[in-house]
Structure 1
């Protein structure tokens, strides 16, 4: 593992040093950074120096929501909150081939609870890129890994107000490390992308946990009928009303060695480190206002996923091992109203079934796009069925209204 890591770092260093050019270039800087997609057809508010030595783009977005919950065996309740408040800065310095992207989060749901001895999670992305041409991206820093489609998409580009229950359990999210992406997208012919990453495996904003375990991630994306219009694989729904059918298949695999948290890059701290293997498969179809997506996610660990506090045998933390399916279908009317339906199943492996239930989730949404995904009104009804090992069942549901706005 150490040899593989060293070889990767040497490759990245040689690639960069062999192609550095100082000064201004005439390359178009469209900021299509495959490790940090951000749904926006514009570029926010931009500043470029008179000599074009640097460029700065500033963007923001907010999500405000109110939710009514009715969970079995609990009193009904409602909740109003700023779900997301993000600022993003991107551009280049010295040469359009050398780019940066910074994303900060300020909403309580983004930063998490402040705990003694832990870092405050304001920084979501802080990454520098070397892009020698339109086909290659080499990055170093903290950003999203090349994982499942729904996670790679910005939360601002979702059709429903939240990602699926399977994404919550199995996603690999953000991490610190190196990534290399090879992109080959063409509008009218077969296209493909290959993406790889070596990262710490500990998640974002983690310090003081040095070890010899790294996370290795690889992903392939195939577009049999050509690429989607305006990077349509990076947002849900057929907002571009594709004139020809478009299709994408993707598969990602990660081995996170000696992970310290229940979800690898996410979750609570384990009492013992565990190696995790995660498989993420996706498919997407769009045509004439119709959009369909399907996903399969799975996680396993070679050792017992359950870890026990050595000082208290009743205190346990476990890796969620199991698998799940997501199915999503939508239609966008010419009036820019959209109907969405999603069905998800989540099944834990037998080794942890006594600790967590099987789950089915039905979601129905109605969205009004005022300015594509950057300004929209969303309504959602979600119904959950939880099946426990003792044969009991619980039924929960919520209804939600959300407003998304950004530039």
Structure 2
């Protein structure tokens, strides 16, 4: 009994010290970095050493979902899965200006299939940042590139259960390299951010033979009416109920030299390396519970089709083309939200015989129990596919999802 009481007092004391020290440091060291958006209601569970030499934060989140799928000319199917299960650790060592962030994934959809000769894709983020002041971040390691808004946002900060068809096809994702971020945000004044990265171009956890091709990414973000409340540009929906209209405009460009994969950082391996370019434009408006987002995405590549030299019928191609997303929502005072999204996608003539043009219609209802950190979501989505030969298909699904995390 005495041992149990001593242990309890020790844990209570440790918790109190951690809470006090975290409050001291978070003003100078906001661990919700622009390069690592991870929606959280608070700051996770943290410990700071008594001498403030290090800080350690731990967070988790999971998405459990059930889906009824009806694809044209196929039998209906029911799918239940843990879509995402992730752990994140962040903090600093020695000085709050030196920040680390790690994120690990364990769900099958995150890790991917285990293939002979391939490494397991558990590591999502592993990066260290040097932050000399509130305006500059210098990063080295693996994390998300400064790409389109919906990809940069955490999947935990989405209004619907998944990102759009255009994000799936045209996004640039995680990569290993150097990043520089210059941030100039004020709530009540014109604000702007500049972001850049030089990375391998091969995607996360690549163990391919090194080459001399790199990816170069640049991005500009503008906030003409001032920055959003509580980093509201990094999650969907107007959960903060902006009292004044807020607007974000952004544009990103990437040149991936000698890319090895069909989607640059994502996709299957090409049979020959190709250069590709990505153009990503976004707009976001929030006011008094209303939110609207729009996006344009495009990928460009010369001669995007590659052929297996040992089998002419075996091909891999870069998905070239462009698409638009439009998404609108309203959050009721009861914290129920209704969401609608419409996407169009058009493939380039080079691959028009290999992939269909597409339209996607989604309607959703979300109940926020603890903002984005604990929510229940219901969604119905229709995909309308138009093929080169004049045929078409309509596929749809109904999905229920629960997200919880700290």
Deviation at residue 208 of structure 1 after TM alignment: 3.2
Q: In structure 2, list runs of 5 or more residues that go unmatched.
A: 1-23
User: 1:172 maps to what in 2?
Assistant: 172
Question: Which whole-Å CA distance do the structure 1 matches of 2:328 and 2:78 have between them?
Answer: 28
Describe the shift of the 1:75–1:27 C-alpha distance in structure 2 as closer, same or farther (beyond 3 A): closer
Which stretches of structure 1, 4 residues or more, deviate above 6 A after TM superposition? 24-27
Distance 1:34 1:289 in 2: 24
Matching residue of 1:316: 315
Query: For the structure 1 residues 74 and 101, does the alpha-carbon distance in structure 2 shift closer, same or farther, using more than 3 Å as the test?
Result: same
- Counterpart contact for 1:67–1:398, Cα < 8 Å: yes
- TM-score calculated relative to the size of structure 1: 0.93
Q: CA deviation at 1:32?
A: 3.2
Aligned to 2:339: 340
Match of 2:127 in 1: 127
* 1:65 aligned onto 2:70: no
**CA positional deviation for 1:40:** 1.0
Hey, what does 2:329 align to over in structure 1? 330
- Do 1:27 and 1:96's aligned partners in 2 also have CA atoms closer than 8 Å? no
Q: Offset of 1:28 from its aligned partner?
A: 1.8
Contact 2:175–2:204 (CA<8 Å) still a contact in 1? yes
CA distance 1:250–1:92, change in 2 (3 Å): same
Residue 96 of structure 2 aligns to a residue in which SS? strand
| SS of match in other structure, 1:96 | coil
Separation of aligned partners in 1, 2:206 and 2:305: 23
- State the Cα deviation string for residues 346-374 of structure 1 (Å, max 9, x = none): 10001101000000000000000000000
Q: Measure, in 2, the Cα distance between the counterparts of 1:25 and 1:151.
A: 29
Contact persistence 1:192–1:220 (CA under 8 A): yes
Q: 1:72, 1:26 → 2: CA distance?
A: 52
Counterpart in 2 of 1:8?
A: none
Asked whether the equivalents of residues 41 and 370 of structure 2 are also in contact (C-alpha less than 8 Å), the reply is no
Aligned to 1:90: 90
Work out the CA distance in 2 between the residues paired with 1:284 and 1:257: 31
What residue in structure 2 maps to residue 253 of structure 1?
253
Measure, in 1, the Cα distance between the counterparts of 2:343 and 2:350.
21
User: So what's the TM-score if we normalise by structure 2?
Assistant: 0.93
| 1:178 to partner: Cα distance | 0.2
Counterpart-to-counterpart distance in 2, 1:243 and 1:389 = 48
Mark the CA change 1:246 to 1:25 in structure 2 (over 3 Å): closer, same or farther: closer
Aligned length: 383
Mapped contact 1:25–1:95 kept (Cα < 8 A): no
Structure 1: distance between partners of 2:197 and 2:329: 33
1:200-254 C-alpha deviation (Å, 9 max, x unpaired): 0000000132000000000000000000000000000000000000000000000
Is residue 231 of structure 1 aligned with residue 231 of structure 2?
A: yes
For residues 26 and 212 of structure 2, what CA distance do their matches in structure 1 show?
42
Q: Is the alpha carbon distance of 1:26 and 1:144 closer, same or farther for their aligned partners in structure 2, counting shifts above 3 Å?
A: closer
Task: Sort the Cα spacing of 1:26 and 1:353 in 2 relative to 1 into closer, same or farther, 3 A.
Answer: closer
User: For 2:147 and 2:307, how far apart are their aligned partners in 1?
Assistant: 29
Name 1:202's counterpart in structure 2. Answer: 202
Contact in 1 for aligned 2:271/2:306 (Cα 8 Å) = yes
How far the C-alpha of 1:26 sits from its partner, in A, is 9.8
Per the TM alignment, residue 396 of structure 1 is displaced from its structure 2 partner at its CA by: 0.6
8 A Cα contact 2:292 2:328, kept in partner: yes
**Once the two structures are superposed, what CA deviation does each residue of 1:48-84 show, in whole Å capped at 9, x if it has no partner?**
0000000000000000000000000100000000000
CA displacement 1:84-136 (0-9 Å, x = unmatched):
00000000000000000000000000000000001100000000000001100
- Structure-2 residue corresponding to 1:372: 371
User: Does the CA-based 8 Å contact 2:41-2:371 persist in structure 1?
Assistant: no
CA displacement at 1:41 relative to structure 2: 3.2
